[in-house]
Each structure stands twice: as structure tokens, then as C-alpha cells.
Structure 1
């Protein structure tokens, strides 16, 4: 099963939208979702503050500007085949 790391924060409509897209793909590409609030870790806050929502799967990533249903599906499909 894939392990998806989802960097997020509270009260973030883009994050809510990205999570909804992820959950739409869960049946086709089963994964375990690990949500990480960037405000709980200084390193995450510094690294991802302007990039969230940010998704990481098997070392491959998508930031807020790259995230859409097609890019998420491609990321999950590629990860599930490797």
C-alpha cells in the first residue's frame, strides 16, 4: 500500500480541496494518508510554508501550484507501479 504524506495547515481551503482530490483517488490507488500540520514542526513550516498543500509519495512531490486531479492521479499511478 502506498504511503502519502500530505503537508497542510488548519483553515486552508486549498488544502481541503487537495485532500478531497486525494480521497477521490483512494479507491483506484489505495494508500495510507499521513497528514502533517506544518505548524507542529519548525522544519516543515520553513520548508513548506508557501508550498502547501504539498504531497509526497515515494520521494516524488507535488506542490500547491502543481496539484490537480490529473497530476495527483499520475503521481499515485506511477508510485503504485514501482
Structure 2
């Protein structure tokens, strides 16, 4: 039992290594979906995005809420609409090619 202890201690990360790992990890880009309920095209779009969910944080904005009237005026005929990190990405349908290109670019940007 005592012979295993040094091996186990060696495998445990020291606090400085844990801190370094945590601080060096980049935050995921924010993919904003402008939607309403119901929105069958939005549900279809979310299904298409599922294989990529580990590469972004999905934020949904219901354009029918009073506080989102600016987005309603802008996108009422175009949902689903997507922004990546606050910049327009695509609308109506998910383009995997566009998504992959912009995610790759966002992942290369400095922290």
C-alpha cells in the first residue's frame, strides 16, 4: 500500500498546474440564435448544430419578448438567424461550411 502512495501523489495535479490549465483554456465563442416559439426551422437548425455543440455556447433570443423588439423588427421574417460573437453569421438555414469556417477562425483568434 505504501509503495503505491508516491505513484498516486505523482498523478495528482498540483494546484499551480490546475490553475495554469484552467487559465490557459480559451472560452468558447457565443453562437446566438434569434428565434421565437414555435419555430420549426429553428428546431431543425439546432439539430444540425448538435455535432458542433462542444465548440460554442448556444444563446437563444426570443424575438417576440418585449425587451427584444429591436431584434423582432430586424428579423421577424428571417428566423432562424445566427450571430457568432455578436456578428451576423447566417439566416434561414444552417450552412455547415460557413459555421465551420467561422468557428475555426474564432478558435485561432488570440485570447
Does TM, scored on the shorter chain, surpass 0.5?
yes
Equivalent position to 2:44, from 12, 17, 21:
17
Match of 2:83 in 1: 56
Higher relative contact order (Cα pairs below 8 Å, separated by 6+ residues): 1
- Count of residue correspondences: 79
Equivalent position to 1:45, from 60, 72, 77:
72
Task: Give the CA deviation at 1:11.
Answer: 1.4
Greater Rg by CA: 2
> How far apart are the structure 1 equivalents of 2:42 and 2:100?
17
Which aligned segments of 4 or more residues in structure 1 are displaced greater than 6 angstroms? none
Q: Relative to total residues, which structure has the larger helix share, 1 or 2? A: 2
The superposition leaves residues 13-60 of structure 1 with CA deviations (integer Å, 9 ceiling, x where unpaired) of: 110011112222113x2x211100110121111011112101101324
Could you list the runs of 5+ residues in structure 1 that have no partner in the other structure?
none
Q: Relative to total residues, which structure has the larger strand share, 1 or 2? A: 1
Provide the TM-score with structure 1 as the length reference: 0.80
Q: What is the root-mean-square deviation of aligned Cα atoms in Å?
A: 1.6
